[in-house]
């Protein structure tokens, strides 16, 4: 089996799994289901959000290796990062952070939301700068550092601990709700 055949088979598998998950939705939503499939297949809400973190980190690794002559590549990678982070932020802000708030962890919920606002500002700043400007990569490095710090806090301190305090039913409900949010904006 060559590489493209493998990708095709995986794509169909992903689509099938996601369509199963979103059974009952109209066929025109198939594209959205495919977009959300990697997160659905990652497992529960913590695994799904962690997988999305790794995806964005991979895009940043590529972006930070670019030089000032690769403006188009920088813009393309930033667009992918912005798209992935928008979906990710909706999933967290519409389900996980409100659940934290409800569980009397309002301070955590609030400061994670503030981090997201900072992240949006980085994207806004980078889009206003020329991607050929040497300052662009300096700002991108600051963005990467801030984002990694935020993701580490979620992964190491907040999410697994919160999952452990919830019942399997509550965790399953969060996973389902989170995937619906991702599907909505995919
Ligand atoms: Fe977050
Ligand atoms: Fe996150």
Q: In the prediction, which pLDDT does 147 show? A: 97
Q: What is the pLDDT of residues 146-180, one digit of tens each?
A: 999 999 999 999 999 999 999 999 999 999 999 99
Please indicate whether residue 40 or residue 61 has the higher confidence score (pLDDT): 61
Ligand at minimal distance from the CA of 155 is 2
Q: In the prediction, which pLDDT does 95 show? A: 96
pTM of full prediction above 0.75: yes
Q: 90 and 109: one domain? A: yes
From ligand 2's centre to the CA of 151, what distance in Å? Answer: 5
DSSP assignment of 103-172, as one string? Answer: TT-HHHHHHHHHHHHHHHHHHHHHHHS-TTSHHHHHHHHHHHHHHHHHHHIIIIIIHHHHHHHS-HHHHH
Is residue 127 pLDDT above 70, yes or no? Answer: yes
From ligand 2's centre to the CA of 53, what distance in Å? Answer: 6
From ligand 1's centre to the CA of 33, what distance in Å? Answer: 22
From ligand 1's centre to the CA of 111, what distance in Å? Answer: 10
Q: 100 and 161: one domain? A: yes
- Identify the domain containing residue 141 by its residue range: 43-185
CA nearest neighbour of 136 among 59, 33, 64:
64
Residue 4: pLDDT band (50, 70, 90) is very low
| Domains contained in the chain, number | 2
Q: In the prediction, which pLDDT does 2 show? A: 45
From ligand 1's centre to the CA of 154, what distance in Å? Answer: 7
CA nearest neighbour of 149 among 109, 118, 181:
118
Q: What is the mean pLDDT of residues 8-19?
A: 50
Q: 18 and 96: one domain? A: no
Q: What is the mean pLDDT of residues 20-42?
A: 66
DSSP assignment of 13-35, as one string? Answer: HHHHHHHHHTTTS-GGGHHHHHH
From ligand 2's centre to the CA of 6, what distance in Å? Answer: 29
Q: In the prediction, which pLDDT does 21 show? A: 57
Instruction: Provide the CATH number for the domain around residue 131.
Output: 1.20.120.520
Q: 59 and 14: one domain? A: no
Range with lowest mean pLDDT among 23-27, 70-74, 163-167: 23-27
Contact 33, 183 (CB under 8 A): yes
């Amino acid at each position: 089996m060559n590489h493209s055949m493998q990708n095709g088979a995986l794509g169909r598998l992903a689509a099938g799994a996601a369509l199963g998950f979103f059974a009952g939705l109209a066929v025109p939503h198939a594209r959205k289901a495919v977009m959300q499939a990697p997160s659905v297949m990652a497992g529960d809400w913590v695994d799904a959000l962690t997988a999305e973190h790794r995806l964005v980190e991979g895009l940043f690794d590529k972006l930070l290796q670019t030089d000032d002559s690769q403006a188009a590549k920088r813009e393309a990678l930033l667009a992918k990062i912005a798209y992935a982070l928008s979906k990710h932020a909706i999933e967290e802000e519409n389900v996980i952070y409100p659940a934290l708030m409800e569980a009397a962890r309002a301070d955590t919920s609030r400061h994670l939301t503030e981090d997201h606002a900072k992240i949006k500002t980085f994207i806004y700043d980078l889009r206003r700068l020329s991607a050929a400007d040497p300052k662009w990569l300096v700002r991108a490095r600051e963005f990467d550092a801030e984002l990694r710090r935020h993701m580490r806090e979620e992964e190491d301190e907040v999410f697994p601990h919160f999952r452990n305090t919830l019942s399997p039913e509550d965790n399953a409900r969060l996973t389902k709700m989170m995937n619906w949010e991702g599907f909505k904006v995919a």
